[in-house]
Chain A
C-alpha cells in the first residue's frame, strides 16, 4: 500500500467492543493483514482478508471493502492484555516490480482500561 491510514491511538474499557479502521490507496491490491504488536515484542498475525466481507476468528473479526479501500479490525470482550499496537498491512506490487510486499501502516495504539 502506498498510503495506509490508521488512527494513532484509541482507548476503550475492559469488556467493551472497539473498532480500529484502516484506509489505503494502492496500485494493485493483493491482500490485507492485521497484526498485533505489544511493546518491545514481535508483531503477531491476527487476520487476513483478500475478498470483501467479514472474517471472524474468536474475539477478533476483520472486514474488507476493496472498492472503498477500507478495512476494520473489531475486538470484542476487550481484555487488559489487548492493550497493544495494531498494525494494518496491505500487500501490493513493489515499486521495483516483480514481487508483492506487505506495506505497514503506522499502527494504532489501543489502551484498554478497567
Chain B
C-alpha cells in the first residue's frame, strides 16, 4: 500500500523558470494539502484540494502560484517565474476526509532550490 508519493525529491531551477511539483495521494485518499517548510520553521499551509476542485487556497500567494488536482493523475503545484525566496521544502499530504480522526499522511517532500 504505497504512501503519498512526491516527485521530484530535489528540484533546481534558475530565477524566472517554472517549477512543477507532483503529488500522488495514498490509495483511497481524495483530499490533498500542500505545505511549505522553511528551515527551522513549521509547515505553512498553502492549498487544499479535492478531485477537480480547489477547496481552500487561503495560504497560497496570489501571484505565480497555482495548484490543481485533476480527475486523472497527480496533484500539481506550479510556481511560475521562480525567485530565490521560493527555495523551500514543499510537502504534500493526503487524507480520506477533512474531519474525523484520520490524520494527514505526508510525502517525503520536494526540496526546491533556486539559483
List the interface of chain A (C-beta within 8 A of B). Answer: 4, 30-31, 33, 35, 41-45, 48, 50, 87, 89, 94-96, 98-107
Contact = CB atoms under 8 A, between A and B. Distances in A.
B106 A101 contact: no
B43 A99 contact: no
B1 to A, nearest CB: 15
B101 A101 contact: no
B106 A94 contact: no
17 contacts: A31-B101, A35-B103, A42-B4, A42-B107, A42-B108, A43-B91, A44-B106, A50-B101, A89-B43, A94-B48, A96-B57, A96-B58, A99-B48, A101-B48, A104-B35, A107-B41, A107-B42
A30 B108 contact: no
B69 interface: no
Interface residues of B, number: 26
Grouping DSSP codes into helix (H, G, I), strand (E, B) and loop, the B interface class, with mixed when no group exceeds half, is loop
Interface in B47-70: 48, 55-59
Given A30-B99, A106-B42, A107-B42, A101 B105 contact: no
B43 A87 contact: yes
Given A42-B91, A44-B106, A94-B58, A100 B98 contact: yes
Given A41-B108, A104-B35, A48 B43 contact: no
Contacts of A89: 43
A43 B4 CA distance: 12
B83 to A, nearest CB: 23
